[in-house]
Amino acid sequence: MQLSHLVNTLPPYHFADAKRKIAEKQAAGVDVITLSMGDPDLPAPQAVVERLCAEMQRPINHRYPEYRGLRALHEAIAAWFERRFHVTLTPEQDILPLLGSKEGLAYAASAVLNAGDIALVPDPYYTVYVTAATTVGAEPYLLPMREENHYLIDLEAIPSAVLARARLLWLNYPNNPTTGIADLAFFERVVAFARRHNLVIVHDMAYAEVYFDDFRPVSILQVPGARDVAVELHSLSKTYNMAGFRVGMLVGNPALVDAVGRLKSNIDSGMFRPVQYAAIEALNLPASWIEERNVIYQRRRDLLVEGCNALGLRTESPRAGLYVWAHVPQGYTSKDFTQWLFEQCGVMVTAGANFGPSGEGYIRISLTESDERIRTAISRIQSVLRR
Protein backbone atom coordinates (compact mmCIF):
# COMPACT_ATOMS: atom_id res chain seq x y z
CA MET A 1 0.00 0.00 0.00
CA GLN A 2 1.25 3.48 -0.76
CA LEU A 3 1.32 5.52 2.43
CA SER A 4 1.67 9.25 2.88
CA HIS A 5 4.96 11.12 2.91
CA LEU A 6 4.07 12.13 6.48
CA VAL A 7 3.81 8.56 7.71
CA ASN A 8 6.85 7.43 5.76
CA THR A 9 9.02 10.10 7.34
CA LEU A 10 7.62 9.77 10.88
CA PRO A 11 10.14 8.04 13.16
CA PRO A 12 8.84 5.23 15.41
CA TYR A 13 7.82 6.54 18.85
CA HIS A 14 10.85 5.84 21.03
CA PHE A 15 8.95 4.35 23.98
CA ALA A 16 6.93 2.00 21.78
CA ASP A 17 10.28 0.64 20.60
CA ALA A 18 11.70 0.47 24.15
CA LYS A 19 8.63 -1.43 25.37
CA ARG A 20 9.16 -4.02 22.66
CA LYS A 21 12.84 -4.48 23.61
CA ILE A 22 11.92 -4.87 27.29
CA ALA A 23 9.27 -7.49 26.45
CA GLU A 24 11.81 -9.46 24.37
CA LYS A 25 14.36 -9.44 27.21
CA GLN A 26 11.73 -10.50 29.73
CA ALA A 27 10.66 -13.34 27.44
CA ALA A 28 14.31 -14.44 27.45
CA GLY A 29 14.12 -14.67 31.26
CA VAL A 30 15.86 -11.39 32.23
CA ASP A 31 14.41 -9.46 35.17
CA VAL A 32 14.46 -6.01 33.56
CA ILE A 33 14.41 -2.99 35.86
CA THR A 34 12.50 -0.35 33.92
CA LEU A 35 13.67 3.16 34.66
CA SER A 36 12.86 4.47 31.22
CA MET A 37 9.25 5.60 30.88
CA GLY A 38 7.60 8.20 33.10
CA ASP A 39 4.78 5.78 33.80
CA PRO A 40 3.82 5.97 37.51
CA ASP A 41 3.98 2.54 39.20
CA LEU A 42 1.91 3.67 42.21
CA PRO A 43 -1.87 3.13 42.13
CA ALA A 44 -4.47 5.79 41.37
CA PRO A 45 -6.27 7.09 44.48
CA GLN A 46 -8.84 4.62 45.89
CA ALA A 47 -11.64 7.23 45.78
CA VAL A 48 -11.01 7.62 42.05
CA VAL A 49 -11.25 3.88 41.40
CA GLU A 50 -14.46 3.60 43.45
CA ARG A 51 -16.11 6.51 41.66
CA LEU A 52 -15.15 5.07 38.28
CA CYS A 53 -16.72 1.70 39.18
CA ALA A 54 -19.89 3.32 40.55
CA GLU A 55 -20.38 5.50 37.48
CA MET A 56 -19.89 2.50 35.20
CA GLN A 57 -23.08 1.04 36.70
CA ARG A 58 -25.20 3.93 35.42
CA PRO A 59 -26.46 3.22 31.87
CA ILE A 60 -26.75 6.95 31.13
CA ASN A 61 -22.96 7.03 31.24
CA HIS A 62 -22.71 4.42 28.51
CA ARG A 63 -23.94 6.91 25.92
CA TYR A 64 -21.83 9.42 23.98
CA PRO A 65 -20.30 11.96 26.36
CA GLU A 66 -20.38 15.76 25.95
CA TYR A 67 -17.86 16.88 23.30
CA ARG A 68 -16.18 19.38 25.60
CA GLY A 69 -16.64 17.53 28.87
CA LEU A 70 -19.06 17.73 31.79
CA ARG A 71 -19.72 21.16 33.27
CA ALA A 72 -18.88 19.60 36.67
CA LEU A 73 -15.42 18.62 35.39
CA HIS A 74 -14.78 22.17 34.12
CA GLU A 75 -15.77 23.47 37.54
CA ALA A 76 -13.56 20.98 39.39
CA ILE A 77 -10.58 21.98 37.20
CA ALA A 78 -11.27 25.69 37.84
CA ALA A 79 -11.49 25.09 41.61
CA TRP A 80 -8.26 23.07 41.60
CA PHE A 81 -6.47 25.76 39.60
CA GLU A 82 -7.64 28.46 42.00
CA ARG A 83 -6.51 26.46 45.05
CA ARG A 84 -3.20 25.42 43.56
CA PHE A 85 -2.11 28.53 41.60
CA HIS A 86 -4.45 31.28 42.83
CA VAL A 87 -5.55 31.89 39.24
CA THR A 88 -9.25 32.26 38.42
CA LEU A 89 -10.35 30.47 35.25
CA THR A 90 -13.80 30.75 33.66
CA PRO A 91 -14.98 27.13 33.58
CA GLU A 92 -16.59 27.06 30.13
CA GLN A 93 -14.27 29.43 28.25
CA ASP A 94 -10.81 28.89 29.65
CA ILE A 95 -10.82 25.12 30.16
CA LEU A 96 -10.98 22.10 27.86
CA PRO A 97 -10.66 18.52 29.18
CA LEU A 98 -8.43 16.32 27.00
CA LEU A 99 -7.83 12.60 26.52
CA GLY A 100 -4.40 13.06 28.11
CA SER A 101 -2.26 16.13 27.57
CA LYS A 102 -0.36 14.48 24.70
CA GLU A 103 -3.26 14.96 22.29
CA GLY A 104 -3.45 18.60 23.41
CA LEU A 105 0.09 19.13 22.12
CA ALA A 106 -0.89 17.90 18.67
CA TYR A 107 -4.14 19.88 18.58
CA ALA A 108 -2.53 23.08 19.84
CA ALA A 109 0.06 22.88 17.06
CA SER A 110 -2.69 22.33 14.46
CA ALA A 111 -4.67 25.24 15.85
CA VAL A 112 -1.76 27.71 15.72
CA LEU A 113 0.62 26.69 12.94
CA ASN A 114 0.38 26.88 9.16
CA ALA A 115 2.72 25.13 6.73
CA GLY A 116 5.98 27.08 6.52
CA ASP A 117 5.69 28.60 10.00
CA ILE A 118 8.36 28.02 12.62
CA ALA A 119 7.73 26.37 16.00
CA LEU A 120 10.36 27.21 18.63
CA VAL A 121 11.31 24.02 20.48
CA PRO A 122 13.52 24.06 23.59
CA ASP A 123 16.07 21.25 23.19
CA PRO A 124 16.19 18.60 24.69
CA TYR A 125 12.46 18.13 24.20
CA TYR A 126 9.49 15.79 24.62
CA THR A 127 9.50 14.50 21.05
CA VAL A 128 5.82 15.23 20.47
CA TYR A 129 6.57 19.00 20.17
CA VAL A 130 8.60 18.35 17.02
CA THR A 131 6.21 15.76 15.59
CA ALA A 132 3.19 17.99 16.23
CA ALA A 133 4.86 20.84 14.32
CA THR A 134 6.14 18.78 11.40
CA THR A 135 2.82 16.97 10.85
CA VAL A 136 1.23 20.32 9.95
CA GLY A 137 4.13 21.29 7.67
CA ALA A 138 5.76 23.70 10.12
CA GLU A 139 9.47 23.77 10.83
CA PRO A 140 10.89 23.18 14.32
CA TYR A 141 13.69 25.54 15.36
CA LEU A 142 15.65 24.21 18.33
CA LEU A 143 16.56 26.43 21.28
CA PRO A 144 19.33 24.75 23.28
CA MET A 145 18.77 24.44 27.03
CA ARG A 146 22.11 24.18 28.80
CA GLU A 147 23.00 22.96 32.23
CA GLU A 148 25.06 26.12 32.88
CA ASN A 149 21.91 28.23 32.21
CA HIS A 150 19.83 26.00 34.52
CA TYR A 151 18.04 24.67 31.44
CA LEU A 152 16.32 28.00 30.71
CA ILE A 153 16.17 29.09 27.07
CA ASP A 154 18.09 32.14 25.87
CA LEU A 155 15.46 34.30 24.18
CA GLU A 156 18.00 36.86 22.98
CA ALA A 157 19.88 34.21 20.99
CA ILE A 158 16.96 33.59 18.60
CA PRO A 159 17.81 35.18 15.20
CA SER A 160 15.36 37.85 14.02
CA ALA A 161 14.80 36.02 10.71
CA VAL A 162 13.59 33.02 12.73
CA LEU A 163 11.38 35.17 14.93
CA ALA A 164 9.77 36.70 11.86
CA ARG A 165 8.42 33.26 10.88
CA ALA A 166 7.90 31.85 14.38
CA ARG A 167 4.31 31.48 15.59
CA LEU A 168 4.54 29.07 18.52
CA LEU A 169 6.87 28.64 21.47
CA TRP A 170 6.74 25.40 23.43
CA LEU A 171 7.75 25.51 27.07
CA ASN A 172 7.88 22.70 29.62
CA TYR A 173 8.68 23.30 33.28
CA PRO A 174 9.28 21.28 35.40
CA ASN A 175 11.19 20.04 32.39
CA ASN A 176 11.28 16.58 30.92
CA PRO A 177 13.98 15.35 30.51
CA THR A 178 16.42 17.86 32.05
CA THR A 179 14.51 18.39 35.36
CA GLY A 180 15.01 22.17 34.90
CA ILE A 181 12.56 24.45 36.68
CA ALA A 182 11.33 27.98 35.99
CA ASP A 183 10.27 30.79 38.29
CA LEU A 184 7.74 33.55 37.77
CA ALA A 185 10.40 36.07 36.72
CA PHE A 186 11.37 33.79 33.80
CA PHE A 187 7.74 33.39 32.78
CA GLU A 188 7.25 37.18 32.93
CA ARG A 189 10.15 37.64 30.53
CA VAL A 190 8.78 35.02 28.14
CA VAL A 191 5.27 36.47 28.17
CA ALA A 192 6.64 39.95 27.37
CA PHE A 193 8.78 38.42 24.59
CA ALA A 194 5.75 36.58 23.14
CA ARG A 195 3.78 39.82 23.07
CA ARG A 196 6.62 41.63 21.28
CA HIS A 197 7.00 38.93 18.66
CA ASN A 198 3.41 37.81 18.24
CA LEU A 199 4.07 34.28 19.53
CA VAL A 200 1.68 31.82 21.11
CA ILE A 201 3.12 30.07 24.16
CA VAL A 202 2.06 26.51 24.88
CA HIS A 203 3.36 25.63 28.33
CA ASP A 204 3.32 21.91 29.03
CA MET A 205 3.03 21.44 32.79
CA ALA A 206 2.56 17.67 32.92
CA TYR A 207 4.86 17.53 35.99
CA ALA A 208 3.18 20.33 37.95
CA GLU A 209 2.47 18.15 40.98
CA VAL A 210 5.62 16.07 41.31
CA TYR A 211 7.83 18.28 43.47
CA PHE A 212 10.30 17.89 46.34
CA ASP A 213 11.54 19.61 49.48
CA ASP A 214 10.03 23.08 49.77
CA PHE A 215 9.75 23.69 46.00
CA ARG A 216 6.36 24.28 44.34
CA PRO A 217 6.21 24.75 40.52
CA VAL A 218 4.46 27.90 39.31
CA SER A 219 2.01 28.27 36.42
CA ILE A 220 2.71 30.68 33.53
CA LEU A 221 -0.89 31.85 33.98
CA GLN A 222 0.19 33.45 37.27
CA VAL A 223 1.81 36.17 35.16
CA PRO A 224 -0.73 39.02 34.82
CA GLY A 225 -2.10 39.07 31.27
CA ALA A 226 -0.45 35.76 30.30
CA ARG A 227 -3.80 34.47 29.11
CA ASP A 228 -3.57 36.87 26.12
CA VAL A 229 -0.69 34.88 24.66
CA ALA A 230 -0.50 31.55 26.50
CA VAL A 231 -2.20 28.28 27.18
CA GLU A 232 -1.06 25.62 29.62
CA LEU A 233 -1.44 21.86 29.54
CA HIS A 234 -1.99 19.83 32.68
CA SER A 235 -2.38 16.13 33.15
CA LEU A 236 -3.73 13.71 35.72
CA SER A 237 -1.25 11.07 34.51
CA LYS A 238 1.65 11.97 36.79
CA THR A 239 -0.37 14.17 39.15
CA TYR A 240 -2.67 11.39 40.41
CA ASN A 241 -0.96 8.22 39.08
CA MET A 242 -3.69 8.05 36.42
CA ALA A 243 -1.67 7.64 33.21
CA GLY A 244 -3.93 4.88 31.89
CA PHE A 245 -7.12 6.88 32.44
CA ARG A 246 -6.06 9.44 29.80
CA VAL A 247 -7.13 12.70 31.38
CA GLY A 248 -5.52 16.04 30.72
CA MET A 249 -6.64 19.61 30.20
CA LEU A 250 -5.88 22.71 28.21
CA VAL A 251 -6.36 25.98 30.10
CA GLY A 252 -5.77 29.63 29.33
CA ASN A 253 -6.37 31.71 26.20
CA PRO A 254 -10.10 31.26 25.41
CA ALA A 255 -9.73 31.60 21.62
CA LEU A 256 -7.15 28.81 21.49
CA VAL A 257 -9.09 26.67 23.97
CA ASP A 258 -12.17 27.07 21.75
CA ALA A 259 -10.19 26.28 18.58
CA VAL A 260 -8.82 23.06 20.08
CA GLY A 261 -12.35 22.15 21.19
CA ARG A 262 -13.57 22.65 17.62
CA LEU A 263 -10.77 20.51 16.19
CA LYS A 264 -11.32 17.78 18.76
CA SER A 265 -15.08 17.57 18.28
CA ASN A 266 -14.44 16.89 14.60
CA ILE A 267 -12.10 14.02 15.40
CA ASP A 268 -13.02 12.37 18.72
CA SER A 269 -16.24 12.21 20.68
CA GLY A 270 -15.14 13.19 24.14
CA MET A 271 -14.13 11.45 27.34
CA PHE A 272 -15.99 8.43 28.76
CA ARG A 273 -18.22 9.94 31.46
CA PRO A 274 -17.17 7.57 34.27
CA VAL A 275 -13.57 8.70 33.65
CA GLN A 276 -14.69 12.33 33.90
CA TYR A 277 -16.36 11.65 37.26
CA ALA A 278 -13.22 9.82 38.42
CA ALA A 279 -11.17 12.86 37.39
CA ILE A 280 -13.44 15.14 39.45
CA GLU A 281 -12.86 12.86 42.44
CA ALA A 282 -9.09 13.19 41.97
CA LEU A 283 -9.15 16.97 41.60
CA ASN A 284 -11.15 17.24 44.83
CA LEU A 285 -8.56 15.31 46.88
CA PRO A 286 -6.77 17.32 49.57
CA ALA A 287 -3.26 18.57 48.77
CA SER A 288 -2.01 16.15 51.44
CA TRP A 289 -2.58 13.25 49.01
CA ILE A 290 -0.02 14.79 46.63
CA GLU A 291 2.41 15.61 49.44
CA GLU A 292 2.33 12.04 50.77
CA ARG A 293 2.84 10.54 47.33
CA ASN A 294 5.73 12.92 46.66
CA VAL A 295 7.49 11.68 49.81
CA ILE A 296 7.79 8.30 48.05
CA TYR A 297 9.25 9.85 44.89
CA GLN A 298 11.59 12.02 46.94
CA ARG A 299 13.05 8.95 48.65
CA ARG A 300 13.60 7.32 45.27
CA ARG A 301 15.18 10.51 43.95
CA ASP A 302 17.62 10.55 46.86
CA LEU A 303 18.54 6.89 46.32
CA LEU A 304 19.12 7.42 42.61
CA VAL A 305 21.05 10.67 42.95
CA GLU A 306 23.35 9.16 45.55
CA GLY A 307 23.71 5.95 43.53
CA CYS A 308 24.46 7.78 40.26
CA ASN A 309 27.08 10.04 41.82
CA ALA A 310 28.72 7.04 43.50
CA LEU A 311 28.84 5.30 40.11
CA GLY A 312 30.46 8.36 38.50
CA LEU A 313 27.27 9.33 36.64
CA ARG A 314 27.38 12.94 37.76
CA THR A 315 24.00 14.47 38.56
CA GLU A 316 22.32 17.09 40.70
CA SER A 317 19.29 16.55 42.87
CA PRO A 318 16.16 17.57 40.93
CA ARG A 319 13.55 19.73 42.67
CA ALA A 320 10.62 18.45 40.62
CA GLY A 321 9.59 15.93 37.98
CA LEU A 322 9.79 12.20 37.64
CA TYR A 323 13.40 11.86 36.53
CA VAL A 324 17.08 12.08 37.30
CA TRP A 325 19.20 13.51 34.46
CA ALA A 326 22.74 12.19 34.73
CA HIS A 327 25.96 12.52 32.72
CA VAL A 328 27.16 9.41 30.90
CA PRO A 329 30.75 8.29 31.57
CA GLN A 330 33.48 9.69 29.33
CA GLY A 331 33.99 7.76 26.13
CA TYR A 332 30.35 6.73 25.71
CA THR A 333 27.55 8.25 23.68
CA SER A 334 24.23 8.31 25.51
CA LYS A 335 22.86 5.55 23.23
CA ASP A 336 25.94 3.34 23.69
CA PHE A 337 25.79 3.68 27.46
CA THR A 338 22.03 3.02 27.54
CA GLN A 339 22.57 -0.09 25.44
CA TRP A 340 25.38 -1.20 27.77
CA LEU A 341 23.17 -0.78 30.86
CA PHE A 342 20.40 -2.77 29.21
CA GLU A 343 22.56 -5.63 27.90
CA GLN A 344 24.98 -5.96 30.82
CA CYS A 345 22.75 -5.04 33.79
CA GLY A 346 19.15 -5.52 32.63
CA VAL A 347 18.47 -1.87 33.52
CA MET A 348 16.52 0.22 31.02
CA VAL A 349 17.00 3.99 31.05
CA THR A 350 16.54 6.50 28.21
CA ALA A 351 19.42 7.92 26.18
CA GLY A 352 19.51 11.72 26.23
CA ALA A 353 20.00 11.80 22.45
CA ASN A 354 16.40 10.57 22.05
CA PHE A 355 15.30 14.01 23.26
CA GLY A 356 17.26 15.99 20.68
CA PRO A 357 20.90 17.00 20.06
CA SER A 358 21.29 18.87 23.37
CA GLY A 359 20.41 15.64 25.21
CA GLU A 360 23.65 13.98 24.08
CA GLY A 361 25.96 13.16 26.98
CA TYR A 362 23.11 12.40 29.39
CA ILE A 363 20.74 9.61 30.38
CA ARG A 364 17.27 10.02 31.84
CA ILE A 365 16.37 7.73 34.72
CA SER A 366 12.79 7.60 35.94
CA LEU A 367 11.59 7.35 39.54
CA THR A 368 8.94 4.76 38.73
CA GLU A 369 10.36 1.69 40.48
CA SER A 370 10.39 0.89 44.21
CA ASP A 371 13.29 1.70 46.58
CA GLU A 372 14.27 -1.96 46.54
CA ARG A 373 14.36 -2.17 42.74
CA ILE A 374 16.36 1.05 42.53
CA ARG A 375 18.89 -0.35 45.04
CA THR A 376 19.08 -3.56 42.98
CA ALA A 377 19.66 -1.57 39.78
CA ILE A 378 22.51 0.37 41.38
CA SER A 379 24.18 -2.69 42.85
CA ARG A 380 23.87 -4.57 39.53
CA ILE A 381 25.62 -1.71 37.74
CA GLN A 382 28.27 -1.53 40.48
CA SER A 383 29.07 -5.21 40.26
CA VAL A 384 29.29 -5.22 36.44
CA LEU A 385 31.57 -2.15 36.57
CA ARG A 386 33.83 -3.89 39.13
CA ARG A 387 34.22 -6.85 36.78
Ligand X SMILES: Cc1ncc(COP(=O)(O)O)c(C=O)c1O
The region of 94-102, 215-223, 282-290, 342-350 touching ligand X under the rule CB under 6 A is 94-102
Query: CA angle, 85 as apex, 84 and 86 as ends, to 5°?
Result: 105
Residue 356 binds ligand X, judged by CB under 6 A: no
One-letter identity of residue 67: Y
Which 166-225 positions form the footprint of ligand X (CB under 6 A)?
A: 172, 176, 204, 206
Count Cβ atoms below 10 Å from residue 4 Cβ, excluding itself: 8
For the bound state, the minimum distance from the C-beta of residue 111 to ligand X, rounded and expressed in Å, comes to 17
Residue 358 binds ligand X, judged by CB under 6 A: no
Q: Cα dist. 54→59, 273, 378 in Å?
A: 11, 11, 43
Give the torsion sign (CA, 30, 35, 37, 38). positive
Residue 334 binds ligand X, judged by CB under 6 A: no
The region of 48-56, 130-138, 148-156, 235-243 touching ligand X under the rule CB under 6 A is 235-243
Give the torsion sign (CA, 353, 357, 359, 362). positive
Exposed / middle / buried, residue 309 (Cβ in 10 Å: 0-12, 13-18, 19+): middle
- Whether 181 and 319 have beta carbons less than 8 Å apart is answered as yes
Q: Which is nearer to ligand X, 100 or 217 (CB)?
A: 100
Out of 74, 102, 203, 273, the residue judged to bind ligand X by CB under 6 A = 102
Q: Considering only CA atoms, which of 219, 143, 151, 166 is closest in space to residue 188?
A: 219
332 phi and psi angles, rounded to 5 deg: -110, 145
- DSSP annotation of 42 reads S
Coil, strand or helix at 203: strand
For the bound state, the minimum distance from the C-beta of residue 57 to ligand X, rounded and expressed in Å, comes to 27
Q: Which is nearer to ligand X, 16 or 115 (CB)?
A: 16
For the bound state, the minimum distance from the C-beta of residue 72 to ligand X, rounded and expressed in Å, comes to 20
The region of 52-60, 99-107, 187-195, 215-223 touching ligand X under the rule CB under 6 A is 99-107
DSSP string for 78-103? HHHHHHHH-----TTTSEEEESSHHH
Which 108-127 positions form the footprint of ligand X (CB under 6 A)?
A: 126
Q: Cα dist. 386→28, 86, 143, 381 in Å?
A: 25, 52, 39, 9
Q: Which is nearer to ligand X, 172 or 354 (CB)?
A: 172
Residue 36 binds ligand X, judged by CB under 6 A: no
Q: Give the x/- contact pattern for ligand X in 125-144, rule: CB under 6 A.
A: -x------------------
For the bound state, the minimum distance from the C-beta of residue 116 to ligand X, rounded and expressed in Å, comes to 26
Q: Which is nearer to ligand X, 199 or 247 (CB)?
A: 247
Residue 307 binds ligand X, judged by CB under 6 A: no
Out of 34, 36, 101, 350, the residue judged to bind ligand X by CB under 6 A = 101
Q: Which is nearer to ligand X, 19 or 375 (CB)?
A: 19
For the bound state, the minimum distance from the C-beta of residue 100 to ligand X, rounded and expressed in Å, comes to 3
Residue 240 binds ligand X, judged by CB under 6 A: no
Residue 100 binds ligand X, judged by CB under 6 A: yes
Residue 235 binds ligand X, judged by CB under 6 A: yes
For 304, the enclosing helix (H) or strand (E) is helix 287-311
- Whether 127 and 10 have beta carbons less than 8 Å apart is answered as no
The region of 44-52, 61-69, 97-105, 373-381 touching ligand X under the rule CB under 6 A is 97-105
Q: Considering only CA atoms, which of 243, 299, 253, 300 is closest in space to residue 275?
A: 243
Q: Which is nearer to ligand X, 100 or 274 (CB)?
A: 100
Which 246-305 positions form the footprint of ligand X (CB under 6 A)?
A: 248
Q: Cα dist. 71→26, 77, 92, 247, 276 in Å?
A: 45, 10, 7, 15, 10
The region of 6-14, 95-103, 116-124, 288-296 touching ligand X under the rule CB under 6 A is 95-103
Q: Cα dist. 123→196, 300, 360 in Å?
A: 23, 26, 11
Site residues, ligand X (CB under 6 A): 38, 100-102, 126, 172, 176, 204, 206, 235, 237, 243, 248
